[in-house]
Structure 1
Amino acid sequence: MAGIGFSEVMPFLSLYVDTMGHFSHDELSLYSGLAFAATYLVTALASPLWGKLADRTGRKLMLVRAAAGMAIVFFLMGLAMNVWQLIGLRLLQGVFSGYISNANALIATQVPKEKSGQALGTLVTGNVSGTLLGPLVGGILASFFSYRVTFFITGMLLLSVFILTFFFVHEDFKPVQKQLMLSTRGVIKRLTNSKLVFGMFVTTMIIQAANNSIAPILALYVRQIMNNSPATTFFSGLVAAVPGIATLVAAPLLGKLGDRIGTDRIIIIGFVLAIVVYVPMAFVTNVWELIGLRFLIGIANASMLPAVQAILAKNTPYEVTGRVFSWNQSFQALGNVAGPMIGSVVASQFDYAGVFISTAILVLLNLILVYNNTKVMRRNHA
């Protein structure tokens, strides 16, 4: 539900921006990129603070805080009167970040390490599937109602997340005493393989940059392919959501397989598949070809971020889990900032198709990085 709430406005956010003024192609690409990136810029700065607090007060409290704050912000977005108010509220949204990272940290501390891949794969199924199915829900709601009403409905959904979290999420929490809290250097010393952990942070950043580089232009690309068809909003949601169907089935299965054959191998396969799929997206001639390729991206998504979370869980001591996962969210947020900006710049300098080529290059760089960082893991499995 949180994943749906966070993502269901994404397919029409650029179209919502377009209703707030008379913008040129370049201005629309730029403002859309800013609207997408604003939240993640603040998230990158705020996450370490929330992670440190989570290690002292518990992850459930952080989940409740994030859900309540997000519900309020989405209500206010439906009332925004110009693009700068919208961007300002997207910045405020970043202050209430941390729902997903704290959910990951909570599961990582409550589940035995040897089962963490399967458990986190199941958890990420809910998150990723919600994130990818959300645009379909948003596209349908926006088609039947309006952009503004859809923001109000999203706020109600996140209010439901707050209520469910408050009453039904339980945590066997052992607080880290304030006088025993480690410094950043102390946390790093507690890591048995800090190079691998920080390599996963960078990997997370590039994965998110790649996934989100197409976000600001996806609806505009669909509109171009469909020649300004009235059905653009609906199909934009469908195109954004289709990977969720594949991810829903594949993530827990790949998580379980990763526990058996090595999470590092699963993530490498995912990168290769993503590269193979992103390139032809630049050359589609109709929306159904794009939908088919997006389905394959769902399988690649199911093997990437869940695998990173599992590797972190297996290599992080209990008492610093909150901070490690919050750092990972900061890198994830940096990728979410960089991705839309890369996509917007490439789209304004070249065209929408060029964004998919640049995304494939990003994934290739990530494949090289992960292959080098996981050599020791592959040797151990061998």
Structure 2
Amino acid sequence: MICQFFVMGSMTMIIPFLPLYLQELGVSGNDNISRWTGVIFGINFLSAFLFSPFWGKLADRHGRKLMVLRSGFGMAIVIILTGFATGPWSLLILRFLNGIISGFIPASIGLISITTPKKQVGQALGLLQASAVAGGIFGPLFGGFMADLIGFRMIFYVTGIAILFAALIVLFFVHEDFEKKDNEKPTTQRQDFRKIISNKPVFSLFVVLFIVQCALIGINPLLSIFVQELSPGQNVAFYAGLVMSVMGFANMSSSPILGRLSDRKGAEKVLLISLIFATLVTLPQAFVQDYWQLVGLRFLLGLSLGGLLPSINTLIRHVSPEGMESRTYGFSNSAMYLGTMIGPVAGGWLAGGFGIRSLFVVSTVLLCMNVAIVWWKVIPFVHIKRKNL
């Protein structure tokens, strides 16, 4: 939980001012900045999408702690180098490299979910998310303050050092009892994927996770531009960070409660209710006329987020094939990364062509699709599996 706090806090120090950092690197014009922001934010998740199943397979064979360490030390190096970017293209390349070795938080989720008794997975993941979100509250506020104080480049150095510190904590204080299986037959990723999705509703959960990331995360990199539109003036980085922090505070507050509730009442029920609530509070954001209206609606959205990712990860843990848990999480991480990649890229083009407000309308439509998938494709199969057990 301590490491999750440091990593998420460090990473979210970057997000609020990424469009502003591009301005410093010579990119001008709102449309051009929106497109570059979407591409640079998304390229990190393209490489993560491609490599996540590979890291998941290694985790099943060599241990989950090793994957956490690989990501921690690798990200620390690449993010420090990002502070030396000379233009948008060099920033793009460094973000791509960061995606290849990233995955500290997903690897931690896999480690905790697999080593926790199934009856307590929801509560454990809720607590883990609360610690990560606590970092997400601190990060944007501290990042916005530091950006105004010491400049954008220094934030990357601070971020890299903080992630290095988290990796050292894992190295010395996190222990895993892992028994390597020497008699396991070698398989291809395609064979693994086919076996995993043959367990229903695993593939449907992958789709739900993809849409959640695409609909909700695609807006985040462009929030600073929207804040600038609603509240023109100084300290835009700070106010953009505040918007993200209030959502994180709500997420942190609700995730432990909803995690325990999912263990008692069923993660599929918590997931459905959270999706419906997220849909209801996303659409009004397209029509806000004041900065504080946006803050209030983002807070309500944060409450629903506390029940989304923990519920999905809990369900994946319950329905994944035995002995292939890390590989299942590897593919689910790929679905998450794909959504996090496509969301900002598509969001950047939508914002450039139709304005930032159009993002909230499209997100509402996507969330409605998710509600239908959970109702028709997830809940019936989860109930059948629970009866069989």
User: How do residues 9-20 of structure 1 correspond to structure 2 at under 5 angstroms?
Assistant: 9-20=14-25
The aligned counterpart of 1:204 is 209
Describe the shift of the 1:237–1:178 C-alpha distance in structure 2 as closer, same or farther (beyond 3 A): farther
Which segments of structure 1 move beyond 6 Å, counting only runs of 4 or more?
379-382
Shift of 1:243: 1.2
AA of the residue aligned to 1:343: G
> What is the aligned partner in structure 2 of residue 7 from structure 1?
12
Say if 1:255 and 1:339 are closer, same or farther in 2 by CA, change over 3 A: same
Query: How much does 1:95 deviate?
Result: 1.1
Partner of 1:137: 142
* Partner in structure 2 of residue 258 of structure 1: 262
1:108-150 deviation line (CA, Å, top 9, x unaligned): 2211111111111211222244335422221122122211111
The code of the aligned residue for 1:17 comes to L
Contact 1:71 1:155 in 2 (8 A): yes
Measured on the aligned residues, the alpha-carbon RMSD in Å equals 1.9
**Cα distance per residue 1:157-216 (max 9 Å; x no partner):** 111111111111110112232643454465457659623111111111111111222123
1:345 to 342, 349, 356: 349
Tell me, in whole angstroms, the C-alpha distance in 2 between the residues paired with 1:185 and 1:43: 18
Is the CA contact 2:122–2:260 (under 8 Å) kept in the aligned structure 1? yes
In structure 2, the partner of 1:96 is 101
> 1:249 and 1:181 mapped to 2: Cα distance?
43
- CA distance in structure 2 between the partners assigned to 1:197 and 1:156 by the alignment: 37
Q: Which moved more, 1:244-253 or 1:18-27?
A: 18-27
Structure 2 residue runs without a partner (length 5+): 1-5
Shift of 1:81: 0.9
Structure 1 residue 13 displacement after superposition: 0.5
Tell me which of 238, 262, 283 is aligned to 2:287. Answer: 283
- Partners of 2:21 and 2:150 lie apart in 1 by 13
1:231 aligns with 2:235: yes
1:160 aligns with 2:146: no
Alpha-carbon deviations, 1:353-380, whole Å to 9, x = none?
Answer: 1111111111111111111122233577
In structure 2, what residue type is equivalent to 1:88?
I
Corresponding position of 2:319? 315
| 2:245 matched residue in structure 1 | 241
Aligned residue among 63, 71, 83 for 1:78: 83
1:46 to 46, 51, 54: 51
Residue matched to 2:301: 297
How many residues were matched structurally?
381
The amino acid across from 1:46 in the alignment is F
Return the offset for 1:339: 0.5
Aligned partner of 1:103: which letter? S
Where does residue 219 of structure 1 map in the other structure?
224
Please state whether the residue corresponding to 1:176 is helix, strand or coil.
coil
**Structure 1 residues 236 and 371: alpha-carbon distance in aligned structure 2, compared to 1, 3 A threshold:** same
Kindly indicate whether the alpha-carbon contact (under 8 Å) linking 2:215 and 2:343 is maintained by their aligned counterparts in 1: yes
Q: For the residues of structure 1 that align with 2:175 and 2:136, how far apart are their CA atoms?
A: 24
Quote the Cα distance in structure 2 between the aligned partners of 1:87 and 1:184.
28
Q: Give how far 1:221 is off.
A: 0.3
Alpha carbons of 1:35 and 1:119: their partners in 2 closer, same or farther (altered >3 Å)? same
Q: TM-score, normalised by structure 2?
A: 0.93
Residues 22-31 or 201-210, more deviating: 22-31
**Match of residue 3 from structure 2:** none
Choose 174-183 or 51-60, whichever is displaced more: 174-183
The answer to whether the aligner puts 1:180 opposite 2:191 as a matched pair is no
Contact 2:122 2:311 in 1 (8 A): yes
Structure 1 residue aligned with 2:362: 358
Question: Is the Cα–Cα contact under 8 Å of residues 176 and 319 in structure 1 kept in the other structure?
Answer: no
